Chains A and B, each alone.
Chain A
């Protein structure tokens, strides 16, 4: 294990990236017909589909909150998403990731507008190659915006880590497996809040600061990609759409006419 060199003499990583390079990220919004909102993300070799449903009635009923909407996230990995067939179903890992993503999304959703409802987010990992929680959270917030759910801002997410004693951005599979540390960060650019922060491995305080700073920086870049995905979903051709107020008045006219 120890003799695998993750960074070569020229400072390049296994896949040719520089320490502060992200993998290729492609996001597409509005890909599912029957979901209220959806997004698909390809992040390196990760392929993740997110569907958002709601606000809708809460089942089971006792989970309902009289003052706000609850956010239920279901993160699941397909059996074929990894090299060795993954046993389907929710385990320790799935529960953990569902919980942290739901807590991150709760921070950005303006949930008091929909009391007694539930906003359900389904994150399906079709292909996994390290960093699925970050990619999942990134896509989930795009899907929320696509679903028309009021949110404070999109939340981009990205990991930084330590390999061969060096701080690098966005670990891929091999780096994640044999690297020394991994630090996923979810960051809300608008408020400066950190809504997701986990750490696996060891950093010195200085290394942590550096990794955290790099991840935050990368989040700002991913935020741009998220926005582009949404703009591409709604190409604005000037149409003859009315504003809401005007339309309200017309319904009344229309009622009179239909009598």
Chain B
């Protein structure tokens, strides 16, 4: 497990309208260009990667990007497509060609019904944010059983942690399977008691996003919560 090396990353809070850089950089996400200068458009943490200046927002709703892994809930189906709620202002579409099954015209409802949860990937986002999903990729499937937990999409990086430290801690200490969607939807599966502990830990992360030493705190929390139950050493990767 990585310890929290706070000194490594310099983090500066920027506010909308703050000047971040000039023509030597390109305007990345959360920024805009005015008079040749790059300014922050959102409240967030400034981040420079290569020649792009980005602002990583601390709040705001999820906006789909192509390639995002998400968890969605089917809300409706047509003869050859499904409408999927992925927790953003735009309802996503998934065509029957984009699933692993061979769906006949008019039989979409036989495979996925409204209320079903799926692991999917955003395949394209159009000019007017028309969002298409696909399940035709390794590991994408319909979710059976388990528990869905929702966190703010801006908190997904914290749930995953530096180099995946937080998520592997959660998986290991609670002995659950876990999938974190970029839209902030998290799927857990395991014993009921384990899922409860994991979701309590996730809620704690959601609340205390900005505190330091979060990974250690969660580790302590999970150790405390597991008192009385047999300690699990099995790596969840083997599940």
Contact = CB atoms under 8 A, between A and B. Distances in A.
A254 B157 contact: no
A246 B54 CA distance: 14
Interface string A175-204: 000000000000001110000000000000
A231 B158 CA distance: 21
A237 B69 contact: no
Contact of B157 (A54, A230, A237, A241): A241
A146 B47 contact: no
B212 A152 contact: no
A91 interface: no
A242 B157 contact: yes
Contacts of B212: 237-240
B228 to A, nearest CB: 27
Given A241-B45, A242-B160, A254-B180, A190 B59 contact: no
A240 B15 contact: no
Interface in B69-123: 69, 89-91, 119
Interface stretch (B6-14, B193-201, B219-227): B6-14
Given A240-B212, A247-B156, A145 B43 contact: yes
Nearest to A248: B182
Interface string A222-259: 00000100110011111111111111101111111111
B229 interface: no
Interface residues of B, number: 71
Nearest to A153: B17
Given A148-B57, A259-B139, A190 B182 contact: no
Contacts of A221: none
B223 to A, nearest CB: 19
B13 A236 contact: yes
Contacts of A55: 61, 89
Given A114-B63, A148-B42, A148-B58, A250 B167 contact: yes
A57 B162 CA distance: 34
A154 B179 CA distance: 38
Nearest to B40: A150
A196 to B, nearest CB: 17
A238 B7 contact: yes
Contacts of B156: 247, 251
A22 interface: no
B90 A116 contact: yes
A115 interface: yes
B230 interface: no
B53 interface: no
Contacts of A243: 9, 45, 47, 49, 54, 56, 157
A86 interface: no
Contacts of B171: 257-258
Given A110-B32, A251-B180, A230 B43 contact: yes
A116 B160 CA distance: 31
Contacts of A66: 128
B145 interface: no
B16 A151 contact: yes
Contact of B41 (A151, A230, A237, A241): A151
A59 to B, nearest CB: 12
Contacts of A235: 210
Interface string B1-42: 010111101011101110000000000011010100001011
A145 B161 contact: no
Nearest to A109: B41
Given A114-B63, A151-B16, A252-B69, A247 B160 contact: yes
A18 B216 CA distance: 55
B173 interface: no
A115 B63 CA distance: 11
Given A115-B129, A239-B4, A152 B162 contact: no
A243 to B, nearest CB: 5
Contacts of A121: none
Given A146-B43, A240-B214, A254-B164, A67 B128 contact: yes
16 contacts: A55-B61, A148-B59, A149-B60, A150-B42, A152-B16, A230-B43, A237-B210, A238-B7, A238-B212, A239-B4, A239-B158, A239-B210, A243-B47, A243-B54, A248-B182, A250-B167
Interface of A: 36-37, 54-57, 66-67, 110, 113-117, 145-154, 189-191, 227, 230-231, 234-248, 250-259
Given A238-B6, A239-B158, A241-B11, 4 more contacts: A145-B15, A145-B16, A148-B42, A242-B157
Which 7 A-B pairs have CB atoms at the shortest separation, nearest pair first?
Answer: A148-B60, A153-B17, A150-B41, A148-B59, A247-B157, A240-B4, A242-B157
